[in-house]
């Protein structure tokens, strides 16, 4: 049985993330969406809110679970008895950072493989930060995140203004 970790900050989860979750859930026996807790960045959503949104929008995937981690991704991956770290690559611009992360993680734990999914072209420009910014300036984010998430994002940015 192969278990994969799909790690990230998911602030908020987008259709791009969901695309990777769906496709990886078809490849691996189990996919654990790992939500990073100790972010140095200042997130829009509290950790619990991010987890709650992921839970809602992944509820139809029977082999997808959600878990949180703080500290090193390789330690979390080992803790969860996972074999693979999954990351999406949208464009060449992602590659340098992702390669550095994969190689660092491989050095830290040679038993864990990182596997990359090429993001579907329709989401190749999409990021959580774009969604946050669009929503802040009253742009339409409904094509980029599920309705459940867009309502939460609009609510949140309204409180910031």
Residues in contact with ligand PNS by CB under 6 A are 7-9, 36, 72-73, 101, 104-105
Q: Is 68 a catalytic residue?
A: no
Q: Is 128 a catalytic residue?
A: yes
Q: Is 50 a catalytic residue?
A: no
91 and 57 Cβ atoms separated by less than 8 Å: no
How near is the Cβ of 87 to ligand PNS at its closest, in Å? 7
Report the C-alpha gap between 37 and 50 in whole angstroms: 10
Nearer to ligand PNS, 7 or 12 (CB): 7
List 50, 90, 132, 152, catalytic entry? 90
Nearer to ligand PNS, 1 or 40 (CB): 40
The residue of the chain with the least Cβ separation from ligand PNS equals 8
How near is the Cβ of 154 to ligand PNS at its closest, in Å? 22
Nearer to ligand PNS, 6 or 28 (CB): 6
List 17, 30, 87, 152, catalytic entry? 17
Q: Is 41 a catalytic residue?
A: yes
Kindly list the catalytic residues. 17, 41, 90, 128
């Amino acid at each position: 049985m192969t278990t994969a970790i799909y790690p990230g900050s998911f602030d908020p989860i987008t259709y791009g993330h969901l695309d990777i979750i769906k496709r990886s859930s078809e490849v691996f026996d189990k996919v654990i969406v790992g939500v990073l807790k100790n972010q140095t960045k200042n997130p829009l959503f509290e950790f619990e809110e991010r987890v709650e949104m992921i839970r809602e929008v992944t509820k139809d995937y029977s082999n997808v679970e959600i878990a949180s981690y703080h500290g090193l991704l390789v330690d979390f991956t080992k803790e969860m008895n996972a074999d693979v770290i999954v990351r999406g690559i949208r464009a060449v611009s992602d590659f340098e950072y992702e390669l550095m992360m994969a190689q660092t993680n491989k050095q830290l734990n040679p038993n864990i493989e990182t596997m990359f999914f090429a993001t579907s072209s329709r989401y190749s420009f999409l990021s959580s930060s774009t969604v946050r910014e669009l929503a802040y300036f009253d742009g339409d984010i409904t094509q980029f995140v599920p309705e459940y998430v867009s309502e939460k994002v609009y609510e949140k940015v309204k409180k910031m203004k």
